[in-house]
Amino acid sequence: MKRSILLLLVIITNVSCASYQGGTKPKLKLSKDKILVKRTSIHNDFLSGNFTELKFSYNNEVEKVIFSKKGVFDKFGKWDKDFYLNNTSVYLWDNVKLFPNSDEIFSILAFGTDSPNFYTSSIIIFDSKGQDVIKTHPKWKNKIIDFYVDLVNNMDYSNRKFNNVNRRAIQSTLN
């Protein structure tokens, strides 16, 4: 069953990437008021607990990309770990500096869901001790939301490197 789901994901990803018509739809412009801050439960080999998720939803009227994953990839390169949570691929970047004027190190989970007409995109951010940053360090909340909005709004839609790396990662899970 898992293999069938993964195969379906590869096919959808390949069809989506192959049929990409850059610039045919407007690009998403995200604003802070569109970010939903919610508690999310995660239990797997890497994490266990309730975490603060920053999430936004969008429809198919904008240029479709995997906003969170691509945005973090464009900024920090290939992820360090990946896993599946509720049939959704999740990418983890460890030990990254989010802010140029701070020595703080963070880890980022990026993921999203999609259906024919509705999509979500999310991130969860941890401090260097693996703690939920927004819950344990509320002073960072607005700065992290600003980071997320900037990440999405300044994304390079023409850079296709993420699509190729993402496709290979999904295909490798099938083997």
pLDDT of residue 17: 39
pLDDT beyond 80 at 162 = yes
The label of the residue with tokens 């995109």 reads: 121
Q: How confident is the model at residue 40 (pLDDT cuts 50, 70, 90)?
A: confident
The label of the residue with tokens 């802010």 reads: 99
Q: How confident is the model at residue 61 (pLDDT cuts 50, 70, 90)?
A: low
pLDDT beyond 60 at 3 = no
The label of the residue with tokens 């983890």 reads: 92
pLDDT of residue 62: 52
User: How long a stretch of residues is the chain?
Assistant: 175
Written as one letter, the residue type at 65 is V
pLDDT beyond 60 at 19 = no
- Domain positions in the chain: 27-158
CA 39 remoteness from chain centre: 16
Percent of the chain with pLDDT over 70: 77
Taken in order 157, 148, 91, 83, is the CA torsion positive or negative? negative
pLDDT beyond 70 at 174 = no
pLDDT in tens, 85-131: 777 888 999 999 988 888 999 999 998 877 766 778 889 999 999 89
Q: How far apart are CA 116 and CA 81, in angstroms?
A: 28
Q: How far apart are CA 83 and CA 78, in angstroms?
A: 14
Radius of gyration of the chain (CA): 16
51 neighbors 12 (Cβ within 8 angstroms): no
Residue 27 DSSP symbol: P
User: In sequence order, what are the residues at sequence separation of 6 or more whose Cβ sits closer than 8 angstroms to the Cβ of residue 134?
Assistant: 37, 52, 54, 125, 140, 141, 144
The CATH topology of domain 27-158 is: Alpha-D-Glucose-1,6-Bisphosphate; Chain A, domain 4 (3.30.530)
